[in-house]
Structure 1
Amino acid sequence: MSPFKILVVSAAGLAVAGVATVLTVGYVNSPARPEAEKAPTPASAAAPTLSAAEVKAAYDECVQKAFPTTADAAQRSAACSKALGSRQLQPAEVAMARLTRGVARTMLGDKVLASEDYLDAIRHYDQLINAANPDALNLFRRAAALDAVGLTDKALTDYSDAIKLDPNASLAFLNRGVLLATRKRAYDRAIQDFDRVLVLEPDNVDALIRRGDAFVQLGDFGRGMGDLDRAVSMAPENPLAYLMRGLAYGRRGNAMAALQNYDAALKYDPRNADALSNRAAIYLGQGQLDMAIRDLDLAISIDHTNPLAFYNRGYAHFAKKEYDKAISDYSSAIALNPQLGLAYNNRGLTRAIAGQDLVQALADCDTALKLMPINLDVRDTRGFIYLKLGDPALALNEYNAALDIDPNRALSLYGRGLAKIKNGDVAGGEADQRAAETINPEVAQQFSMYGLN
């Protein structure tokens, strides 16, 4: 018996990264300089006084003409901090510096401090935007900050209002499309936005990447791969193009092509946590556990807020029979995403196999069943735990529930056979076991290695 499901980071997990990759020249120009915003600073904590020229240089380095990437995030974050620390910026500049530093910190994996920057940027834009006469630029910027903190509906409204004011705002169309695809899974609507971007800018690589992924999500692999292949040919050093193409190949079951694309993404961005996590998922499927753990260790060191990386590392540790480490990783995944039902199921299974608190193991499975009421893996795990607890009647109920839906599940058949035998129905139990072994000759070994014969 093994834990269930290896998970990959889907395109939905890339929304914040999308903000950083698509906010380019047209909508990130430095604002005009009205009266400077200053905040009282205790004398003991006062930063060294900077000249106006030094403040301008730091601010210009902070905002530049595009938002930060992984390559310049540390430098840009430091420049933003220097400019903000001067207390000499006016409100519009503070908003822009905060937004830019938020993106830089996101690139660096510090999502807590990034969130503080985004929220402060939103507060400033709320004051800067005149509801009676808004401008597209500040609406766009506020939408980016709202999107980054997960305020999807408000971000959508701001992007849409920016588009109404400026129908040629390609970046607003692009970011709205990314948001629709990643947050709402409204792929048809997203494709319409990406189409508009490509009318305005036929060689926009980001729009090609995102439209390609949206087509793949809708099952149109041909058009999706056409876009992704073109994006790679146009921008052969763009890691996102390879990452998305890897995801597309993965959905088609072509693990080798997916692996090649993740390798390419990591060649150009060695600290791309999503590419590392997804390459690790392929390694797990191939049984290369140490290589998977190596990638996941690095991915988690870069971004310790990704529950799927912890989940998959837990899967790897389980496979190595490192049960304490597996339980710890599943617990971390649950802390980051309490709705991750598979993590509860696998933690419960691991606890049961390790003989660690069977009652708590059952509680984990109860939670998993509430989150995934029709998941047959959970039924198998609950049946296994009831057998370990010495309650074959309740185990029988679980296995019957699974077999009512899928009569040919080898694990459920063999488990039901054990439950029947322990309940006194030896002939019926042995018949179930023979049927299970016909489907999966190794099923008996899966139970016996964890103490159930």
Structure 2
Amino acid sequence: MLVVGYENLPGRRNAAAPVPAVVPASATAPASSNSASSNSSPAATLDAAAVQTAYETCVQKAFPTRADAAPRAAACSRALGSHQLKPDEVALARLTRGIARVALGDKVMASEDYLEAIKHYDRLINPANPDALNLFRRAAALDAIGETDKALADYSDAIKADPDASLAFLNRGILLATRKRSYDRAIQDFDRVLVLVPDNVEALISRGDAFIHLGDFGRGMADLDRAIALSPENAYAFLVRGLAYARRDDARAAMSDYDTTLKYDPNNVYALVNRAALFSLDRKPDLALKDLDRAILLDPTFARAFYNRGYVYFMQKSYDKAIEDYGAAIALDPEMGLAYNNRGLTRAIVGRDLTQALADSDMALKLMPTNLEVRDTRAFIYLKLGEPTQALKEYNDALDIDPSRAISLYGRGLAKIRAGDPAGGKADQAAAETLYPEVAQQFSMYGLD
């Protein structure tokens, strides 16, 4: 097909998880170091006992999740607004509120908290004798603002300071896997966690996902099945296993796991978007749109949700809506080459803005220089523009890489015919129809035959 297919999302843990692989947030100018946010109620009149209660509710044992983010963010604001916390307490309260705010969808205010937490930890950490826990916490804040290399360095320093710091091994492994794609090194860290804390569910999930990415489906599924057996209501475990099944083209098992994810975490946008992908591939666009609409409502900054909804609209021939959603995805993620490609293709199909369509395909090619779909799209646009020689060049570039690519063969045949080589063109089209009997219908649907 000419359209780039549905994007299946990586199974990254939400920023508010107990052991966060936190989504980067855009930085804003930080407020004063021990102030409550502008939308929190004043807390300066709290007595010492009330401040302590608020602080303990804020930090608790683990970082916030979506389930408890709202009360914990409020408790953090009360404690911070009292101006009675010690510097290390301010740092942890800021970090905790940042994670809670991400879970609540307020990434801008969360960024302020992360930056303030980092400032406090910078002052608290003695480079000559660093505290492992403070290093760990600063690493979490650095990860949250996208400072991956600095976060990795802090996790490594935390491990040096405390070789039994299982959470530092776990978070370093998650970063190595999700940000660096260094799955072998990540697995070493997860192995260490499981020595220190046998049957650690987070480590089993993360190691299982790493094995899957390395193509070791057997060991990956063994870890994920074990994690689910230990924690049968763990939504994230089902999500990651669903992704693994999807990679194996087991749509039924993947759907079951996405359903279970949403049973235990109804607002999980990754499960909604991935389940929508399966609905779309199963030709159930209404169900796909329902999931995607909800995902966008929950997280209107989720570029992939807009991209996938654009794909559904495209398949329904709602081209104006598709163009709008691809544009929204690009506005949120200017590096999303797939969205540029599909918007360019859609513009070419409707026959409007062909110059803009070509500009979209130029950007897609810059971002994805080896993607053959982009070559096909560019050739299609050139055919629409009445430039068969340029189209021929694009199709040849695609066929140099994949000589059996039916779409490119048929398109090249059409370009040859329009360039004055009907015999060569018909030969290409015949070869393409042998490989893919419905290829002519594809071009006819888009106004080229």
Q: Does the alignment reach a TM-score above 0.5?
A: yes
The correspondence for 2:176, drawn from 165, 168, 180, is 180
2:101 aligned residue: 105
How many angstroms does 1:49 deviate by? 2.0
Alignment of 1:144-223 (within 5 A): 144-223=140-219
2-side partners of 1:50 and 1:21: how far apart? 29
| Stretches of structure 1 lacking an aligned partner (at least 5 in a row) | 24-36
The answer to whether residue 369 in structure 2 is matched with residue 337 in structure 1 is no
The answer to whether residue 388 in structure 2 is matched with residue 389 in structure 1 is no
Alignment of 1:39-438 (within 5 A): 49-438=45-434
| Stretches of structure 2 lacking an aligned partner (at least 5 in a row) | 21-32
The answer to whether residue 10 in structure 2 is matched with residue 21 in structure 1 is no
2:28 aligned residue: none
Is residue 344–residue 367 contact of structure 1 (8 Å, CA) maintained in 2? yes
How many angstroms does 1:402 deviate by? 1.6
1-side partners of 2:402 and 2:162: how far apart? 55
1-side partners of 2:36 and 2:238: how far apart? 48
Q: 1:328 to 1:191 in 2, by over 3 A?
A: same
Is residue 95–residue 141 contact of structure 2 (8 Å, CA) maintained in 1? yes
How many angstroms does 1:303 deviate by? 2.0
How many angstroms does 1:116 deviate by? 1.6
Q: 1:152 to 1:41 in 2, by over 3 A?
A: closer
Moved more, 420-429 or 276-285: 420-429
How many angstroms does 1:268 deviate by? 0.3
Identity of aligned residues (%): 69
Q: 1:144 to 1:40 in 2, by over 3 A?
A: closer
Is residue 177–residue 190 contact of structure 1 (8 Å, CA) maintained in 2? yes
2-side partners of 1:259 and 1:21: how far apart? 26
Write out per-residue CA displacement over residues 21-60 of structure 1, whole angstroms, 9 at most, x where no aligned residue.
Answer: 327xxxxxxxxxxxxx866999xx9656222222221111
* Alignment TM-score, normalising by the size of structure 2: 0.92
How many angstroms does 1:213 deviate by? 0.8
Q: 1:133 to 1:289 in 2, by over 3 A?
A: same
Q: 1:114 to 1:357 in 2, by over 3 A?
A: same
1:31 aligned residue: none
Moved more, 422-431 or 112-121: 422-431
3-state DSSP of counterpart to 2:179: helix
1:30 aligned residue: none
* Alignment TM-score, normalising by the size of structure 1: 0.92
2:5 aligned residue: 5
Q: 1:363 to 1:309 in 2, by over 3 A?
A: same
**Which one-letter code corresponds to 2:222 in the other structure?**
G
Is residue 246–residue 259 contact of structure 1 (8 Å, CA) maintained in 2? yes
Write out per-residue CA displacement over residues 71-90 of structure 1, whole angstroms, 9 at most, x where no aligned residue.
Answer: 11111111112222222222
